[in-house]
Structure 1
Amino acid sequence: MPAMTDPMAALISFQRELKRGTLQIQPCETDPNLFVHLDHPTGKPRFTYVRLEGKTVASMAIFALVEPIERQQCFHMGYAVAEGFRHQGRGREIAAAALRELANGFSRTPIRTFYVEAVVGVGNEASHKIAAKLLSGMPTPITDEISGEPAFQYLLKVDTREA
């Protein structure tokens, strides 16, 4: 089986494509230092939020539409911080800022609630701290569907009227 999905690989790829000029990013509404790129790699929307240090992607949060939960849209969330920017609180900060921006964007649509989930491998302590703080202090033990490895699912129901 393959390994669990690693958002760091996405950050590296995003940085490469941004440098090549193949990606368009836009400043966000809730935070002018947060940028977003929307694409549809599997036919479903994926929102990629980044913080830049000059032209370098320092941190990233990704929200990809997955199977609904309780008939509500659900976004799988991943986040990563480039190696030179770690241990500064940037992971928690990008995840929180991106979540606010996503909720703000959906507040202008008919979508009133949606779920955000993060699936975190058992040994990823830094990601556990972020997910517990932002999504849920009561994760559910699961087996990751991609890797078959033990993981925890963190889940948050977002009300866009509170954005």
Structure 2
Amino acid sequence: MSRRHLLLGLVTSMVTILKPSMASAASPAGEATWDLTESQWRQRLSPEEFDVLRREGTERPFTSRALLEEKRDGTFVCKGCELPLFSSATKYESGTGWPSFWEPLPNNIATKLDFKLFLPRTEYHCRRCGGHQGHVFNDGPQPTGKRYCNNGVALAFVPADAAETPVN
């Protein structure tokens, strides 16, 4: 790691520490409030969904087979609040065992640095409810070169031809 990257990581971590967590992010004006209590989130989510979305956990790879194998046109939405996060047009097979995308929908995710593995990683959350989704890496396909590596339990799929009910 270069001195520049180390310095950038330290400065960014200080900014991240001083900023409020994305998990408590407020919804923009005009949207439903997603400032639920822990008890309300536990009622809304399964234990595994709660661990990932509210505690920034990570599911084991290859455990969300239905989403890994999903090939239909549609939209991947946040499991916490159903905000659309990714178009199926940006999904690709990364071989990692987690659903991967090369670009999110505009303005629907927020990022912060994560130092849980000691080296900085970029973590991303649902902009509306603050639910942890996964991490973004610089080893994805063109045109962005990004890999948004998403926990499957944090997503639901809404087929383009049946936009009423998300598929888990």
Q: Which one scores higher on RCO, CA 8 angstroms, separation ≥ 6?
A: 2
User: Do these two structures clear the TM 0.5 threshold for a shared fold by scoring above it?
Assistant: no
Please identify the structure whose Cα radius of gyration is greater. Answer: 2
Q: Which has the higher strand share?
A: 1
> Which TM bucket (shorter chain)?
under 0.3
